[in-house]
Structure 1
Amino acid sequence: MLDPSSVAGTTLTYVLLVLVALGALPIVAMGYQFVLIPLHAFRNHYAKAAPYLPRVAVVIPAWNEGAVVGNSVDMLMRLDYPADALRVYVVDDASTDDTPDVVLAKSRQYPGQVFHLRREKGGEGKAHTLNHGLAVILEDDWMEALLIMDADVVYLPDSLRKMTRHLADEQVGAVTAYIREGSAEKNYLTRFIALEYALSQAASRRAQNVMGAVACLAGGAQLHSRANLEALGGRIDTSSLAEDTVTTFKTQLAGRKVVFEPHAVVLAEEPQSVAALWKQRLRWGRGNVHITRMYRRLWFRPQEGNRLGSIAFGLVWFGVAFQPVAMVLSSVGLVGLYLLESTTSAQVFRTIWALAACTYVFTMVMSLALDPTTARKTLREAVFFPGLVSVLITVETFFPGLVSDDVPAIFGVEVSDGALRWWTLFVYSWITLSMVGAWLIKKIDGTRAGRFVSPLLVYLVGYGPILCAITVDSYVKELRHADASWDKTEKTGRILA
């Protein structure tokens, strides 16, 4: 065993401490972001917003969306928005179900307002489908603003008005809304997703408004000024699975603002199984990996006209994109310190875990306060978002007498020194092992027993680790240059309209 007091031991100790510190960076990034949220009350775009009702063309890409697109069109027609200033274009991507019949029926029901555009060659992805619609819409000068949405989402009546008011400021190129999980009958997974959206949108995007750099226009709620679309070449980028993020970056790099409007609420149907969630988020994750590489010369290089290159935004972006790497580094550092028999291992672990726990509680309370509707339905998920195992470790962190060298017992059960050593190694490794557990949940979810076992395992391992494991999978798929075809999530029309 290497002597911790030797030169080599001291050097290794410092290296391991650096690994733990790097592992803590996502915690710092998250905490920083949420500290900014109260500033949104003072630093926002509302002072420059004004009542503004431009002529809006809505473009809906649709492939086999017969079960949902009719309801979405009906809800658009019921918006609190002038009927003569709203047109809906459904771009049918060579659907093989009843999508054409549904849209044509809506076109007859709403003459002059709903239009069916058919692509005979489909399957090229959402961006190609959108571009087919844009080519038609931009042929004349009727459209003053364009709303890109998904075929299954439902806009609340006042949502479009709340978005268009920001376009009264000519410096604003695009506006996005708050996508809220809207299934009429929720299960355990949709409640976790609802909570995630409160964290990542209602809260985090407020902070991005404050920073002056928005990471992504929600794919189902993108409102663009005509000037912004024309400046982007009148087309959506087709090189990435994250075409919405590319559009967001290009808008800001060209010097136009992107605004998140938290009070414009859009309901969306989300996956109800881990397998479906994995498929959806893998596409998102691979898109983000591609964006990170595409804009590699942008990160941490402040420049005039936009804030995407700022240190703050870079910290937030990489805090999410490389969180799994940070988790592994942290585990390696903690386990290494413990095996080195460094006296600092326990102290470092408690410090890092306490920091993570306090940051998590702060972010969760802040997010739920911003969306009381979601809060009322997801209190249990708020507790178990990181998983029951992590909750127990957190209890031990704040009450170290439950497990210690002086009192070798775990919650009252006597254990040997050897067992205590293995328990400690397990605890120090858990943030990495949890991602392995998430991968196992995905495998089990597809089995006959998965319907009953998966919910219990998700509460045990945590929803957060599942998202991190999907991110790791996206790294692997990108490194292997796996097929990157656009694979949409199946929708069944479960939205609470």
Structure 2
Amino acid sequence: MLLENKSRPLSQDPREVYDIVELSDSEDHSHIWYWCTTTLPHLIGTPLSILSWAFSIRFLLLLWRSLWDGNGKPGIVAACYFGTQLSLLIARVADDGWRFLCTNPRLRPRLRLAGSQVPHADVIITTCGEEIDVVMDTVRAACDLDYPADRYRILVADDAANPDLEMQIAAMATRTPVTLLYYARPTRGGMKAGNMNSALNYLHSLGGTEYCTFCDVDMIFEPDFLRATLALLVSDDRVGVAVVPQRFYNVPTNDPLYQSLNVDGKFDEIQRDSMNCAWVTGPGVVFRCRAIRDIGGFPENALAEDILTGFTLQGRGWKVVYCREELQFGLVPDTFKAHVTQRMKWFVGRLRNSRRLNCAIFSPKVKGMTWKQRISAICHCASPIASMMNRPLCSWI
């Protein structure tokens, strides 16, 4: 639970006018990249989905006929196999159904905050027992952002309360012009979201800012991160969060386990954003603090608190926008076991989200969603439920 911010803001003057410029895209509307990113998925995505569903339905009908037209009743194994294939079809429909809503594919313009007159922001790096070298690399990148040093603070929120890390943060704080702080909450609870809420409350007690971003300990921000994302928030008071795609620098050759998530970041999220249905996916997103307080803080005890936060914000009428630029790079799991563990966590997290949102149908948390946002959320909730009998066994595929 977040506390109300009653402290004096850091020089927040509502009369301040920020200089926002739009960057010219090298991939203009005549370029093949723009066509492949927007028009091509829109033109072929729906027909391919329908064709795939048609083949699956035909296969199920043939399977049904072969099972029931023989002598006697089908065995348990055959019946389970049919049920598994049927659940896979339902899951595929849930995964792809939202694409039918995308009628106006477009790219959101690339914006930048120019000059030194920029809003104050907090960069919060969450950690819990990771290697100190990895943490310090992330902290150094945050200190080197192309942003006035007196306009942002960095807080390392350490749930492991590592004294060695605290000492290194204190030493670096003396060498950087940016305000660098260390924080370990007194009591642990609420999982990662609990650490995030506690960190926000701590910063509010020091003097709040209007915007905050959370960075996973293995993510490195590009220098333009704050100027690009904050430009989207200050240009529209109803934008509650700006989402940035995740990119990784240790993906194996040919990406055999699809760890890069390129299709999600370069196609799916752009299509969702064109419908104002973007999802909050992972770290490196920038929030308006007022929006987080409006929903009572980040939902605690959730394995997929990021997506759940996004749906809750949309349910309160806040906008979720997608910044398509590659502004952060991180690490993917480097062992097969860690990869499967990560995918299982995502799957179970989606199941829990479905329960907390009542499948996005009856929950008051989604009351303020548009009908497109509601269908998108229903697809998110329905997919893991439909595939729950087989997805845990093959989540690595």
TM-score by length of 1: 0.56
Alignment match of 1:134 (pick from 184, 197, 200): 200
User: Would you say the 8 A contact 2:120–2:152 is kept in 1?
Assistant: yes
Q: Counterpart amino acid of 1:466?
A: S
Partner secondary structure for residue 238 of structure 1: coil
d(CA) in 1 for partners of 2:227, 2:256: 28
State the shift of 1:317 in Å: 1.4
Alignment match of 1:240 (pick from 276, 281, 302): 302
Q: Which residue of 2 aligns with 1:281?
A: 343
Deviation per CA, 1:207-227: give whole Å up to 9, x if none: 221232233x23321211122
Q: Which residue of 1 aligns with 2:286?
A: 223
Tell me how large the CA RMSD over aligned residues is. Answer: 3.7
Q: Which residue of 2 aligns with 1:209?
A: 273
Q: Which residue of 1 aligns with 2:395?
A: 466
State the shift of 1:251 in Å: 1.1
Q: Structure 1 residues 25 and 297, CA, compared in 2 at 3 Å: closer, same or farther?
A: closer
Alignment match of 2:183 (pick from 117, 123, 127): 117
Q: Which residue of 2 aligns with 1:64?
A: 129
Which is further off, 125-134 or 293-302?
293-302
Q: Which residue of 1 aligns with 2:119?
A: 54
User: Would you say the 8 A contact 2:315–2:367 is kept in 1?
Assistant: no
Q: Structure 1 residues 72 and 300, CA, compared in 2 at 3 Å: closer, same or farther?
A: same
State the shift of 1:299 in Å: 2.8
Q: Structure 1 residues 67 and 30, CA, compared in 2 at 3 Å: closer, same or farther?
A: same
Q: Structure 1 residues 120 and 29, CA, compared in 2 at 3 Å: closer, same or farther?
A: closer
State the shift of 1:180 in Å: 0.9
Give the length in aligned residue pairs: 319
Partner secondary structure for residue 104 of structure 1: helix
Deviation per CA, 1:377-403: give whole Å up to 9, x if none: xxxxxxxxxxxxxxxxxxxxxxxxxxx
Alignment match of 2:370 (pick from 287, 297, 307): 307
List runs of 5+ in structure 2 lacking aligned partners. Answer: 1-65, 75-80
d(CA) in 1 for partners of 2:238, 2:291: 10
User: Would you say the 8 A contact 1:62–1:95 is kept in 2?
Assistant: no
List runs of 5+ in structure 1 lacking aligned partners. Answer: 10-15, 329-431, 440-464, 469-497
User: Would you say the 8 A contact 1:34–1:203 is kept in 2?
Assistant: no
State the shift of 1:108 in Å: 1.6
Q: Counterpart amino acid of 1:160?
A: L
Alignment match of 2:329 (pick from 239, 243, 267): 267
User: Would you say the 8 A contact 2:344–2:395 is kept in 1?
Assistant: no
State the shift of 1:17 in Å: 9.8
Question: By percentage of residues, which structure has more helix?
Answer: 1
Map 1:24-423; keep pairs closer than 5 Å. 24-31=89-96, 33=98, 39-41=104-106, 44=108, 46=109, 51=113, 53-65=118-130, 66-96=132-162, 98-122=164-188, 125-168=191-234, 169-183=236-250, 186-187=251-252, 192-195=257-260, 197-215=261-279, 217-233=280-296, 235-296=297-358, 298-299=360-361, 305-307=368-370, 312-314=375-377, 316-318=379-381, 320-322=383-385, 324-325=387-388
Partner secondary structure for residue 87 of structure 1: strand
State the shift of 1:125 in Å: 2.6
